[in-house]
Amino acid sequence: MAQGQDGRAISFDEEKYDQSYISPSLRGKHSISLGLLNVQTTPDQNLVVNQSLQVGYNFLILKERKLILALKDIYRTEINSIGLHFTLVNPYEHYLMGTYSSSFLAKKGRFISFYFLSEVGLGYHYKKNLKSFDQNRFNMSFLLEFIRFRVGRIPLYLNISGTYALTNNLFNKTPIIFGYMVGFRYYFYRK
């Protein structure tokens, strides 16, 4: 059972479902994500892009909606999730982010799908060599995923995100801490 836009319960056959990789049986379930990312944060003395590993846990919040332009009653599941993601950049730098992901601004196609501003997060960023820049080693950071791509129906995403330290002082001469993350993330769903 799912909720429609007016709050009523909607029931439907899985036979009439759109054959997406996300099935109605995953509602309220858990997923693990593994990712390989290129991460760059400033200030940095050598400005080297780091290959990073990301591990995440996601609690899925799924909701079905009826396709507006469909001739028959076809439903599609919208996936939202609350997650916790750990990104290991190198032994001297890592992120731990609590995230909320939604597919509100999305263009979904049969072969490729685009998701815009689909994930926001809040957490901390640890970087050992920030003391040389008169900054804290631990900084509260805000994460915004600009765009996410998915090819086909497999749960493999290419995502481009940006981070911004909330401890930045724009009125001081200390360097501003921000960064970007570009990479792939694969989701494993527990059925």
Residue 126 has a pLDDT of 85
Which amino acid, 103? S
**CATH architecture type of domain 2-189:** Beta Barrel (2.40)
Residue 19 has a pLDDT of 45
**What DSSP assignment string belongs to 78-136?**
EEEEEEEEEEEEETTEEEEEEEEE--SSEEE-SSEEEEEEEEEEEEEEEEGGGGGGT--
> 164 vs 41, which has greater pLDDT?
164
* 6 pLDDT more than 90: no
> Average pLDDT of 171-186?
85
CA dihedral 23, 28, 34, 38 (to 10 degrees): 100
> Average pLDDT of 158-180?
85
Q: What percent of the chain has pLDDT over 70?
A: 76
Planar angle of CA 79, 80, 81, nearest 5 degrees? 125
Half-sphere exposure at residue 23, Cβ-oriented, CA atoms within 13 angstroms: 8
* 14 pLDDT more than 70: no
> Average pLDDT of 120-146?
80
Predicted structure pTM score = 0.74
* 152 pLDDT more than 50: yes
Mean pLDDT of the chain: 78
Q: What band does 36 get if pLDDT is binned at 50, 70 and 90?
A: very high
How many residues are given for the chain? 191
